[in-house]
């Protein structure tokens, strides 16, 4: 065996170099004749053709080994990442099950804190009983400290998701109960959203809205069936209302049995009988 080949095999000191050597041998066994013929045609003498072919096969084996190692490393990292995600997902599922039974049992004070934090980061005093409990149970987390006892908090993402789902169920139950027992004067006011033309309370209709119909506005707003929209000082004689989407759907499907004609309506206070001020609603006589 040539000295250079002995030195080459003698350099095998690791699994990587052993793999390169094995791959080189396999390439030489299966492709040596083809390789020697090729390099000979390129002008390489017979004395060096075998050496050149082995060198080429060794270089190719080295490149393939590096490629295999890179791909293998990526696969390993991906596998670890997938296992971590799976484990985290299992933990979140278990946490979610516990939260689904815990959140409905929370006092209103603590629910209000969570609802506020679900809208964004907020400042609270950690010594406040509700805040202390929620923080102790890892429902909320501190971001940074403002004073000795005041911190900026954020809600845990899983807690937020469960809270929103809980509030949606509660809202639906409450809405159905309220709407199925809604008084007649409330329905008369809500008809402005379901009629093809606004039937009263506007200059265009020329019909005055009765005071008992208009008196339902406060309770409808308080129960989030409708919302009063700001008009600005230039439109003090008019008031604009918006029908809340989920309430409108239940009204359309369960009570009024008509599609919604409009989601907002602008009423003229000059076409409302005996309007009054209540609950911050701007009206005039």
Strand partners for 125 = 150
> In this model, does residue 125 exceed pLDDT 70?
yes
Q: Taking phi first (over 0 means left), then psi (-120 to 50 degrees means alpha), and beta for anything else, what does residue 274 get? A: left
Q: Are 52 and 4 in contact (CB under 8 A)?
A: no
Count of Cβ atoms closer than 10 Å to residue 201 Cβ: 27
Tell me what pLDDT residue 233 has: 64
User: Where does CATH 1.10.10.10 sit in the chain?
Assistant: 106-167
More confidently predicted of 252 and 8: 252
Tell me what pLDDT residue 6 has: 57
Tell me what pLDDT residue 277 has: 42
> In this model, does residue 279 exceed pLDDT 50?
no
What is the mean pLDDT of the segment spanning 200-228? 93
- Among 33-47, 70-84, 150-164, 250-264, the minimum mean pLDDT is found in 33-47
Model confidence pLDDT, tens digit, residues 159-195: 999 999 999 999 989 998 998 899 999 999 999 999 9
Model confidence pLDDT, tens digit, residues 16-40: 777 777 777 877 777 777 777 777 7
Tell me what pLDDT residue 13 has: 58
More confidently predicted of 132 and 232: 132
Token reading at 28:
């030489």
Q: Is 26 helix (H, G, I), strand (E, B) or coil?
A: helix
* CATH top class, domain 106-167: mainly alpha
Nearest to 103 by CA among 42, 149, 170: 170
Q: Are 213 and 199 in contact (CB under 8 A)?
A: no
């Amino acid at each position: 065996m040539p000295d250079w080949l002995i030195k080459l095999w003698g350099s095998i000191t690791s699994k990587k170099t052993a793999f390169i050597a094995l791959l080189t041998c396999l390439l030489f066994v299966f492709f040596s004749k083809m390789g020697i013929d090729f390099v000979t045609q390129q002008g390489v003498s017979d004395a060096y053709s075998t050496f050149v072919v082995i060198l080429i096969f060794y270089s190719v084996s080295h490149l393939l080994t590096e490629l295999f190692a890179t791909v293998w490393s990526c696969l390993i990292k991906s596998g670890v990442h997938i296992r971590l995600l799976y484990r985290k997902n299992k933990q979140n599922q278990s946490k979610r099950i516990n939260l689904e039974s815990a959140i409905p049992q929370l006092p209103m004070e603590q629910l209000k804190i969570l609802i506020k934090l679900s809208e964004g980061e907020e400042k609270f005093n950690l010594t406040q009983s509700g805040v202390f409990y929620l923080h102790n149970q890892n429902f909320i987390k501190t971001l940074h400290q403002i004073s000795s006892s005041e911190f900026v908090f954020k809600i845990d993402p899983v807690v937020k998701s469960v809270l929103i789902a809980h509030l949606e169920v509660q809202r639906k139950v409450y809405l159905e109960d309220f709407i199925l027992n809604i008084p007649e004067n409330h329905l008369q006011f809500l008809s402005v959203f379901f009629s093809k033309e606004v039937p009263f309370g506007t200059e265009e209709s020329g019909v005055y809205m009765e005071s008992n119909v208009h008196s339902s506005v406060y309770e409808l707003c308080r129960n989030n069936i409708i919302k009063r929209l700001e008009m600005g000082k230039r439109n003090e004689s008019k008031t604009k209302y918006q029908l809340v989407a989920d309430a409108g759907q239940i009204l359309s499907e369960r009570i009024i049995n008509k599609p919604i004609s409009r989601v907002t309506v602008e009423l003229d206070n000059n076409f409302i009988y005996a309007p009054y001020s209540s609950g911050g609603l701007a009206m005039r006589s």
